[in-house]
Structure 1
Amino acid sequence: MTLSKALKTAFLAASVAFPAGAVGAAELNIYTTREPALIQPLLDAFTTDSGIKVNTVFLKDGLAERVLSEGASSPADVLMTVDAGNLVDLVEKGVTQPVQSDVLTKNIPAELRDAKGNWFALSMRARVLYASKDVDLSAFNYEDLADPKWKGKVCIRSGQHPYNTALFADYIAHHGVEATEKWLAGVKDNLARKAGGGDRDVAKDILGGICDIGIANSYYVGLMRSGKGGEEQVKWGEAIKVILPTFKDGGTQVNVSGAAVAKNAPNRDEAVKLLEYLASGAAQKIYAEANYEYPVNKSAEVDQIIASFGELKIDSKPLTEIVSHRKQASELVDKVGFDN
């Protein structure tokens, strides 16, 4: 099935209730918080390749709570979600089990998977800099967001949004709490408008002359420039240049979508096969095409729009370490009045 045809049929399979007896050896069951249209092409390709049928249940919220309530009789084999913090939460709530797989170890870098094999990243989005094409800028450090030369020129969404608390948590991992508080206060002083809106609003406001630079996710640029967000958003995407910022002592901050094998998975072997398939070059290419995300498998091609940003140097801080600072990051956002 082609990607376009798969996307057309994705919504038809978006929130399927498991049929009776859907725990056979030729089937597996996914609980997912990912938008169905983004994963269905991958599941269709897996079924074609393996002969294993995949049943999905879409859960916008409460994934771990659903599995916990079902207990040992839960039909869930694979748990799929977005954001490293959510993956770590699944482990902390005791609904995953460790997996040892040479395929997964080979295809997914160590900093993008749990050290004990409880979860694995399957795609990435980078926290990048959107900049006006009128700004003479070819490189950028996250630390520079607090430089007074950008006073009144920075746009960003709410500091309490998970995309930003993840970035701020990474800053803590690099520089500590005290330095991060000072930096956040400096970024707030540089804001051109109140922190808020969405990532695409950063591009919109740069086009409108409200700000010169802003922090946002990489994949939104693909959605805008490709036309998937509509004609108006094409103008937003074309109004900016994208720079892959880094920490002065590290790389570019990334967040992930990922998956884990459920603790009581009835079809564990099939679940592992699915994860291995999703980490393969072929599946990673579909991820890149469907949502303009970065593949975690280095052998997979990056979409041309995203590749135009240059080579991505992933920050070396393990996602589990970054996630451990989320609460501190959130507290600092409130302490400096970032969203006020």
Structure 2
Amino acid sequence: MPTRPRSSSSARISSAIVVAATLVAVPPAALAQSGEVNVYTYREAKLVAPLFEAFTKDTGIKVNTISASSGLEQRIATEGANSPADVLLTVDIGRLKEAIDLGVAQPIKSDVLDKVVPAQYRDPNGLWYAASARARVVYASKARVAQNEITYEELADPKWKGRVCIRSGQNIYNNALFAAAVAHYGEAKAEEWLKGLKANLAQKPSGGDREVARDIAAGKCDIGVGNTYYWALMSEREPDKKAWAEATKVILPTFQGHGTHMNVSGVILAKNAPNKANGLKLIEWLVGEQAQKIYADMNFEYPIRSGVKPHAVIAAYGELAADPLPIATIADNKKKAATLVDKVGFDN
């Protein structure tokens, strides 16, 4: 999702870090400010701006942000005790897992969060909580695909040979889907499934989820894999890509006997947060009704909070039967999934 400009020498300090746009630059000195909170975010600035503006209006707490496409957890670790980061906001379970592995998160103790966020969408030890959710679904040609139901297992069925488009198997969203397959099937069966999926590809994995819809619209393939919100963005907010959405439909796949694979946008409270109380206040606010409506209506994501409805475009995909597999379990299988992707030569 996010991308931005870099300066030459600072980019070399950590090649993973690509500093994106900032709403307000985080002060260089890591001094706590009673009316501020510092957020490192993987979410695109224009997507989180409405959230942070509403939070400031509600609380009077100013939100300073640094946005990047990768490397933020490593940056926090490098900054150590002097890090100004209070909160890390991610777009994928993999980033949350990396933050925990690097030791840059601290346990959050909050009755508010425990009451609102379902157990499957939070860390068992309170090291992260989901703020919103998305599903990894199938985009299908309206003209060439009659069926409206499909399983993830069926993506490896030979009937789809030469008909599937997908982005890199090592992409964080696909890696999470494949990790869920490992958790459900075990490594051996997941490997066979990946081999079958690879055999059905119409072309080398490339591009992003939007390009999957583009290639289906162009007739290069008939089905593909993408996140729920990308299709909605193309349909409602991106006029130059609206035709790609109009040529495709969204099918909510399931793992046999389970449900639709889910991923999350989640948050951690930084280990050395200089504004800890404000950081916790922001995290709790993000699961409140107002923030959850913003996530649903502006970002086209599934709300975490019960009682908040998804946007009408998302609801039109059909009734979501979410896979009950804990997100933390998926995260634990990500390395195995990445190894299998390389083993079967998925991206070759």
Q: Distance in 2 between matches of 1:290 and 1:63?
A: 24
Q: Distance in 2 between matches of 1:128 and 1:61?
A: 24
Could you tell me which residue of structure 1 aligns to residue 202 of structure 2?
A: 192
What TM-score, normalized to structure 1? 0.91
Q: Distance in 2 between matches of 1:280 and 1:101?
A: 13
Q: Give CA-to-partner distance per residue, 1:206-228, whole Å, 9 cap, x none.
A: 222222211111111111101x3
- Report if aligned partners of 1:146, 1:187 keep a CA contact under 8 Å in 2: yes
1:252 to 2:251 alignment: no
Q: Report SS of the residue matched to 1:187.
A: helix
Deviation at 1:30, TM superposition (A): 1.3
1:159 to 2:169 alignment: yes
- Structure 2, unaligned stretches of length 5 or more? 1-19
Could you tell me which residue of structure 1 aligns to residue 96 of structure 2?
A: 87
Q: Distance in 2 between matches of 1:176 and 1:261?
A: 33
Q: Report SS of the residue matched to 1:82.
A: coil
1:238 is aligned, of 243, 246, 255, to: 246
Deviation at 1:257, TM superposition (A): 1.2
More deviation in 203-212 or 174-183?
203-212
Could you tell me which residue of structure 1 aligns to residue 6 of structure 2?
A: none
Could you tell me which residue of structure 2 aligns to residue 262 of structure 1?
A: 270
More deviation in 266-275 or 176-185?
266-275
1:303 to 2:311 alignment: yes
Deviation at 1:71, TM superposition (A): 2.2
1:66 is aligned, of 60, 75, 92, to: 75
1:205 is aligned, of 215, 228, 235, to: 215
Alpha carbons of structure 1 residues 133 and 186: separation in structure 2 relative to 1, 3 Å: same
Q: Report SS of the residue matched to 1:57.
A: strand
1:115 to 2:124 alignment: yes
Q: Report SS of the residue matched to 2:321.
A: coil
The one-letter code matched in structure 1 to 2:142 is K
1:105 to 2:119 alignment: no
Q: Distance in 2 between matches of 1:145 and 1:21?
A: 49
1:331 to 2:332 alignment: no
Alpha carbons of structure 1 residues 323 and 53: separation in structure 2 relative to 1, 3 Å: same
- Report if aligned partners of 1:75, 1:265 keep a CA contact under 8 Å in 2: yes
Deviation at 1:68, TM superposition (A): 2.3
Deviation at 1:13, TM superposition (A): 5.0
2:298 is aligned, of 276, 290, 293, to: 290
- Report if aligned partners of 1:15, 1:58 keep a CA contact under 8 Å in 2: no
Aligned Cα root-mean-square deviation (Å): 1.8
- Report if aligned partners of 2:24, 2:63 keep a CA contact under 8 Å in 1: no
Could you tell me which residue of structure 2 aligns to residue 46 of structure 1?
A: 55
The one-letter code matched in structure 1 to 2:319 is E
Alpha carbons of structure 1 residues 73 and 312: separation in structure 2 relative to 1, 3 Å: same
More deviation in 171-180 or 293-302?
293-302
Could you tell me which residue of structure 2 aligns to residue 8 of structure 1?
A: none
2:86 is aligned, of 47, 72, 77, to: 77
More deviation in 52-61 or 172-181?
52-61
- Report if aligned partners of 2:23, 2:64 keep a CA contact under 8 Å in 1: no
Q: Give CA-to-partner distance per residue, 1:149-203, whole Å, 9 cap, x none.
A: 1112111111121111111110010001110111111111111222222211221
- Report if aligned partners of 1:33, 1:60 keep a CA contact under 8 Å in 2: yes
Q: Distance in 2 between matches of 1:84 and 1:285?
A: 22
Could you tell me which residue of structure 1 aligns to residue 187 of structure 2?
A: 177
Deviation at 1:77, TM superposition (A): 1.3
Q: Give CA-to-partner distance per residue, 1:9-40, whole Å, 9 cap, x none.
A: xx985351327686232222112222111111
Deviation at 1:60, TM superposition (A): 3.4
The one-letter code matched in structure 2 to 1:257 is S
- Report if aligned partners of 1:282, 1:300 keep a CA contact under 8 Å in 2: no
Q: Report SS of the residue matched to 2:138.
A: strand
Alpha carbons of structure 1 residues 170 and 241: separation in structure 2 relative to 1, 3 Å: same
Could you tell me which residue of structure 2 aligns to residue 30 of structure 1?
A: 39
User: Percent of aligned positions with the same letter in both sequences?
Assistant: 52
Deviation at 1:75, TM superposition (A): 2.2
Q: Report SS of the residue matched to 1:188.
A: helix
What TM-score, normalized to structure 2? 0.89
Deviation at 1:252, TM superposition (A): 0.9
Could you tell me which residue of structure 2 aligns to residue 126 of structure 1?
A: 135
1:137 to 2:134 alignment: no
Q: Give CA-to-partner distance per residue, 1:51-73, whole Å, 9 cap, x none.
A: 22222222333222322233223
- Report if aligned partners of 2:39, 2:89 keep a CA contact under 8 Å in 1: yes
The one-letter code matched in structure 2 to 1:202 is V
Q: Distance in 2 between matches of 1:214 and 1:12?
A: 31
- Structure 1, unaligned stretches of length 5 or more? 1-10
Alpha carbons of structure 1 residues 20 and 291: separation in structure 2 relative to 1, 3 Å: same
State the number of aligned residues. Answer: 328
